[in-house]
Structure 1
Amino acid sequence: MDDPAHRGGPPLRILLLEDSDLDAELLGVVLDDAGIPYAIERVMTRDGFAAAAARRASDLILADYVLPAFDGLSALAIAREACPDTPFVFVSGTLGEEVAVEALKNGATDYVTKQRLDRLPRVLVRAFSEMRAQAQRRTAEQALRELNETLEARVAARTRELAETNAALTSQIAERVRAEEALRQAQRLEAIGQLTSGVAHDFNNLLTVIAGNIELMEPAITDERNRRRLTMMRGAAERGARLTSQLLAFSRRQRLEPTPVQLNLTVAAMRDLLQSSIGGAVRIEMTLQPDLWPALVDATQIELVILNLCINARDAMPVGGGLTIETANVRLLDEPVRPEEPPPGDYVMVAVCDTGSGIPPEVLARVFEPFFTTKEVGKGSGLGLAQVYGFAKQSGGGVRIDTRLGEGTSVKVYLPRAAALGLADTSAAPLPEPEIHRAGRRPVLLVVDDDSAVREVTAAKLAAAGYGIREAGSGLSALQHLERDATIDGVILDFAMPGMNGAEVAAEIRRRWPGLPILFVTGFADTEALKTLGRIGEDRIVQKPFRDGELERKVAGMAAQPAPGLRLVAMQGQAT
């Protein structure tokens, strides 16, 4: 028998239905000659055959067709019911062609006449081949049934997967659009900030000339009418200075003095001021967190921020309403979605909430831009929220606005958390400035400014204070003056100049004349450039436009106790 399934394998288990001992022996001889290992279970009765078939322990059924009280077709019916996958082969001496055909129709695998038992091995090979084919077919049919049964579930799962992928893609597209819009907004605010700081610098120069000449003219004006006019002019110059201060706050060029501040105390102390500023039609409530962290901020500027926000809230409630000031400790984990919002970290939050009209989306996109306002002409400058934005970002925090049309607005200002209450700026305190050498004569100052009108006002004020004056219109010209004139005792230096700026001129002076004191006078200072000059002390800072003798007092302060080497201290010319 040429069947790899049984050659050298376990014995072929045969259920034999045969009543003749001789025929049974002949079948064994044929199988032996074919080299087929086998084990035969022989039965001769209906009951014996039915019991053996029910056990399904056989690999093959061989059955005689004619039995004394039993026939082969009945045996075939029993086998098809009990073990339908087991090959069934008739082995009979009286099986005619018609009977054989009927047997095959009823499910027999094949038949062999007892006169041609030599055909039995080939029949067995064919039977087992058919059995394997049927098994494979049944396996395939079962797999197909299972596939059909799971097809709907798999289609639903795939549909769900595609929907999730599409949702994720849509979210990514929306996030990219949001990020691009945030980037455009940040770039727009940065560009406006750069323009604003330049405008503020030029305005401060103009205000310095105006305010300085008013101060110089005052002693010569005696009639009351003209003195009133000078007072009006001075008031206008001061209002202009406040506007430039707000512009510098937006562009993050203002000078801040951050110290640990307990905002609960600050807010509570402002209640009377706020109530008088916003009027009796608005009810003020305060929700202050008891264990509030200290905030590292400029105490004066945060008061202005709170006042600005409360005034904005009042204007959003023309017929009255409720205003709530809230403080809280906040830990942010998410990245900002708008450029004005803070990055992740620990913050002290102060929020001003109103029950007003809310902010439309098209207005919300521009509320931090300087001079943008929806108020009537003369009702607001459009610098309030710009100042809040600049202060919060320069302090290391940010701002978030939550608003609903017809319900109200909440402006939350996030300020950096101080490490501990009472923490002060840990950088070194300013060293005393070398003294201005007098040696029996009045000190001589070199005034350096590229704006001739500003330089003239500065020189006139200092000359009136008793100083000898030299003037230079550029950094290079200042260095040339110092090379030629050894009597110069101090330098009054503008920061923003074409060519060499104030920081570069100061660095060269420090290298060549290390004992010469220097002050900066400018509309604003580049803080990154000033860092190269060391710690900046407030007592060495003069701001444009000059106010109330500040320039003269701080120049006089240059006659301090001498110290080894030069300590360069910048005067940041920003208006507050």
Structure 2
Amino acid sequence: MTREAFAAAAGERRHDLILADYVLPTFDGLSALAHARAHCPEVPFVFVSGTLGEEVAVEALKNGATDYVTKQRLDRLPRVIVRARAEARAHAERRFMEQALRQLNDTLEARVAERTRELFEANAALQQQIVERERVEEALRQAQRLEAVGQLTSGVAHDFNNLLTVIAGNIEFLERAVSDERSRRRLDTMRGATERGARLTAQLLAFSRRQRLEPVPVQLNRTVASMRDLLQSSIGGAVRIEMTLQPDLWPALVDATQIELIILNLAINARDAMAVGGCLTIETANVRLTDRPARAEEPLPGDYAMVAVSDTGTGILPDVLKRVFEPFFTTKEIGKGSGLGLAQVYGFAKQSGGGIRIDTEVGEGTTVRVYLPRVAAELPTWEPRRSEADCPSVRQPGDRPVLLVVDDDGAVREITVTKLAEADYEVREVGSGLAAIHTLEHDPCFDLVIVDFAMPGMNGVDVAAEIGRRWPSIPVMFVTGYADQSALTREGIGEDRIVQKPFLDGELERKVALTLATWSATGLRLVSSR
């Protein structure tokens, strides 16, 4: 009946319906309606009054009343209450559904955002996989292309060396028979061309990774520092040379002579990339790689001693970068480059167990990094096997050494036999590895076997292995247009027992004499079974 009592009851919010008179002792129904709308708007509010006129009823409905009943028509009250309750439940359900919808919309946005993020991450991962696959496929294609070119150049170099051997040998024979100066000059010109051809095939063999290497622990800092004067004279005074050498650089396991040639090649390339002046920087560093190589020429994960040659030149275009290691590919003018410099660097690095990386920016310059394997432990020394030959009597000191020459190329074999016969050796010859084994089975008393490395059927390594197993007292030498380093290393063949074709400057006769002298110094004597 009072404002305070009503406010307290409405504040409890535990009623399902409010029935209010319009006229109250201390306040009116409209004030009660206003309070109810403010504090419990979900509760239906119905006026029951005997004095409620039409205008007042309309005003009450406008202010939020659910309905009204006059006291003269109280029979309507049950229906009004039922309807008001139904409407209240409908409103409550609608509010619940609206709230649920709002929550759904809120969570839907969150779920859409989360799903969008997941899709974005999945798409990014897929793109990365596509890029990685394309990179691997490109690296594989490049490796296959370089391998195919390497096989081709290796075979061409070997056959070309055989031809050069025939040419060089016949030039040497003709020199002995020619006396007039004009003919001698022509022979000198021919010999010079033969030597240039030999250098060309050496570069091809370097690319195909079939050159002969003698890896030893090398301090790259000393090598680089000792080459300063040579580099300065080679690239000219207009180019400034800077060196950044790491003090505690790991020793590298490489061929000492070849690494100097590699650095010189890179320096000359850098000079040619700089039109006028510029700066050439040579850097060394210890590098530990963990990433897989992105290109065929790059090194595998591991520890390397690195030497880098940088220039401030024109840089390399992307299309050119794909082909820089191919033999005879060059962007230089005719006569200014053979296209074999980087091919030789590539072959040397790969055969040494390392790799190369090129960083270049068009118009800014290029850096070529050569990664060489670190010396991890002291290298084992090789001790040749020695045993007595099975012959009945010791050869006399005055007997000429007996040599067996094994080569499938008749023209090359003729040159080899002629040169050795003129050097006062007794020489026998065969045209295949199998024929050599048959010859030794019938007569094992040879002082030395000279065998070609590349032959059909039994190659030189196979022949040497069989001789080492059955006749270990007979030394073996190789004459070859190329040499598979790993195969020769397994047989313990050193550089002093390998002669490169074509034979130049008496190398064949010198190494034959050295091998015979070394073998004889061990106290072994071949004896005759005849």
Question: What displacement does 1:206 show?
Answer: 1.4
Mark the runs of 5 or more structure 2 residues left unpaired by the alignment: 525-530
2:7 is the counterpart of 1:50: yes
| Bigger mean CA offset, 461-470 vs 307-316 | 461-470
2:340 is the counterpart of 1:386: no
For the structure 1 residues 214 and 79, does the alpha-carbon distance in structure 2 shift closer, same or farther, using more than 3 Å as the test? same
| Bigger mean CA offset, 239-248 vs 111-120 | 111-120
Aligned pairs for 1:146-157 within 5 A: none
Mark the runs of 5 or more structure 1 residues left unpaired by the alignment: 1-43, 565-576
Q: C-alpha distance in 2, partners of 1:45/1:411? A: 98
Contact 1:58 1:86 in 2 (8 A): no
For the structure 1 residues 257 and 89, does the alpha-carbon distance in structure 2 shift closer, same or farther, using more than 3 Å as the test? farther
For the structure 1 residues 393 and 128, does the alpha-carbon distance in structure 2 shift closer, same or farther, using more than 3 Å as the test? farther
| Bigger mean CA offset, 384-393 vs 167-176 | 167-176
For the structure 1 residues 299 and 117, does the alpha-carbon distance in structure 2 shift closer, same or farther, using more than 3 Å as the test? same
For the structure 1 residues 51 and 542, does the alpha-carbon distance in structure 2 shift closer, same or farther, using more than 3 Å as the test? same
Taking only aligned residues, the RMSD between alpha carbons, in angstroms, comes to: 3.8
Indicate the residue corresponding to 1:493 in structure 2: 451
Question: What displacement does 1:257 show?
Answer: 1.9
For the structure 1 residues 282 and 86, does the alpha-carbon distance in structure 2 shift closer, same or farther, using more than 3 Å as the test? same
Question: What displacement does 1:222 show?
Answer: 3.9
Q: C-alpha distance in 2, partners of 1:333/1:184? A: 23
Indicate the residue corresponding to 2:379 in structure 1: 425
1:519 is matched by which residue type in structure 2? M
Aligned pairs for 1:140-151 within 5 A: 140-145=97-102
Contact 1:247 1:387 in 2 (8 A): yes
Alpha-carbon displacement from aligned partner over 1:35-60 (angstroms, at most 9, x marks no partner): xxxxxxxxx4232011221x334143
Aligned pairs for 1:14-163 within 5 A: 44-53=1-10, 55-61=11-17, 63=19, 65=21, 69=25, 75-86=32-43, 106-108=64-66, 133-145=90-102
| Bigger mean CA offset, 307-316 vs 143-152 | 143-152
Contact 2:444 2:471 in 1 (8 A): no
Question: What displacement does 1:318 show?
Answer: 4.1
1:430 is matched by which residue type in structure 2? E
Indicate the residue corresponding to 2:315 in structure 1: 358
TM-score normalised by length of structure 2:
0.83
Contact 2:22 2:52 in 1 (8 A): no
Indicate the residue corresponding to 2:263 in structure 1: 306
Q: C-alpha distance in 2, partners of 1:435/1:366? A: 55
| Bigger mean CA offset, 376-385 vs 228-237 | 228-237
Contact 1:295 1:415 in 2 (8 A): yes
Contact 2:453 2:479 in 1 (8 A): yes
Question: What displacement does 1:64 show?
Answer: 5.9
Question: What displacement does 1:117 show?
Answer: 13
1:284 is matched by which residue type in structure 2? I
Alpha-carbon displacement from aligned partner over 1:202-248 (angstroms, at most 9, x marks no partner): 11111222223333444444444433333333222222111111111
| Match among 224, 227, 244 for residue 287 of structure 1 | 244
Indicate the residue corresponding to 2:527 in structure 1: none
TM-score normalised by length of structure 1:
0.77
| Match among 417, 426, 442 for residue 468 of structure 1 | 426
| Match among 186, 208, 211 for residue 143 of structure 2 | 186
| Bigger mean CA offset, 188-197 vs 364-373 | 364-373
* Percent of residue pairs identical: 68
1:477 is matched by which residue type in structure 2? A
Structure ID, larger Rg = 1
| Match among 163, 168, 172 for residue 206 of structure 1 | 163
Q: C-alpha distance in 1, partners of 2:69/2:30? A: 12
Alignment size in residue pairs? 512
2:292 is the counterpart of 1:335: yes
2:207 is the counterpart of 1:253: no
For the structure 1 residues 152 and 219, does the alpha-carbon distance in structure 2 shift closer, same or farther, using more than 3 Å as the test? same
Question: What displacement does 1:430 show?
Answer: 3.2
Q: C-alpha distance in 1, partners of 2:242/2:41? A: 89
| Bigger mean CA offset, 348-357 vs 260-269 | 348-357
Q: C-alpha distance in 2, partners of 1:540/1:188? A: 33
Q: C-alpha distance in 1, partners of 2:287/2:129? A: 28
